[in-house]
A and B are shown apart, each in its own frame.
Chain A
Amino acid sequence: NAGVTQTPKFQVLKTGQSMTLQCAQDMNHNSMYWYRQDPGMGLRLIYYSASEGTTDKGEVPNGYNVSRLNKREFSLRLESAAPSQTSVYFCASSVNQPQHFGDGTRLSIL
């Protein structure tokens, strides 16, 4: 059972480069989410998609864009990466609650 799959697992970027983080779920969940995790701050919601075809901003959306490609896939794009976006990014999915998480993408921006 794959659950929520995130690619890549690790990535190093230079400031100003662009990157898309991929997320796919095989649980037929309607809702999908992107979080970032920073030391001492828990997880903060970047964007979410309550259902296919809809996306909404979360707590920290600046510098990011998302695409809900279909029911399975929800991607996160950094158009011009900044060092402040160095973080661990988690994708999650759900039908109502609770949310199920992927293993994360560790992103470093130099």
Chain B
Amino acid sequence: AQSVTQPDIHITVSEGASLELRCNYSYGATPYLFWYVQSPGQGLQLLLKYFSGDTLVQGIKGFEAEFKRSQSSFNLRKPSVHWSDAAEYFCAVGRSNDYKLSFGAGTTVTVRA
């Protein structure tokens, strides 16, 4: 079975600074990988996804993520955070032969002025 680890429970970053959120997965084959964002009181919004091909994927809101097979990682980055990026971020892994997802526990991002 696949699993996802997000090592950082909470990250605080200054507005305008760069952000990197870590995600490690466990899965025997090539996974489908996702990052979702959840603002307070809201549902989950897809930021970006990786299925195959180019290992650096671009998403919405200026986010990008890089798939590194050798490290079983799919870290999310943003060069310059805005106060509106304060939210909870979830990494998820899926399999190519079914539609179920496994989620990490999430990383809460606080943005200070």
Query: Which A residues have a C-beta under 8 Å from some C-beta of B?
Result: 4, 31, 33, 40-45, 48, 50, 58, 90, 92, 94, 96-104
In-complex Cβ contact of B100 among A48, A98, A103, A104 (8 A): A48
Tell me whether B42 and A103 are in contact (CB under 8 A): yes
- Chain A residues with Cβ below 8 Å from B111 are none
Using a CB-CB cutoff of 8 Å, which residues 59-113 of chain B contact chain A?
90, 92, 94, 98-101, 103-106
In-complex Cβ contact of A98 among B9, B34, B103, B106 (8 A): B34
A-B contact pairs, 29 of them (CB 8 A): A31-B99, A33-B99, A33-B100, A40-B9, A40-B105, A41-B105, A42-B90, A42-B106, A43-B90, A43-B101, A45-B100, A45-B101, A50-B99, A58-B100, A90-B43, A92-B44, A94-B99, A96-B99, A97-B32, A97-B51, A97-B94, A97-B99, A99-B99, A100-B46, A101-B36, A101-B43, A101-B44, A103-B41, A103-B42
A103 CA to B42 CA, complexed, in Å: 5
Tell me whether A42 and B103 are in contact (CB under 8 A): yes
B49 within 8 A of A: yes
Tell me whether B43 and A104 are in contact (CB under 8 A): yes
Query: Which B residues have a C-beta under 8 Å from some C-beta of A?
Result: 4, 9, 32, 34, 36, 41-46, 49, 51, 90, 92, 94, 98-101, 103-106
A45 CA to B100 CA, complexed, in Å: 8
Distance of A104 from chain B, by nearest CB (Å)? 6
- Chain A residues with Cβ below 8 Å from B99 are 31, 33, 48, 50, 94, 96-97, 99
Residue of A nearest to B48 (CB): A98
- Chain B residues with Cβ below 8 Å from A33 are 99-100
- Chain B residues with Cβ below 8 Å from A4 are 43
A100 CA to B49 CA, complexed, in Å: 13
Distance of A51 from chain B, by nearest CB (Å)? 10
- Chain B residues with Cβ below 8 Å from A31 are 99
A31 CA to B101 CA, complexed, in Å: 12
A42 CA to B91 CA, complexed, in Å: 9
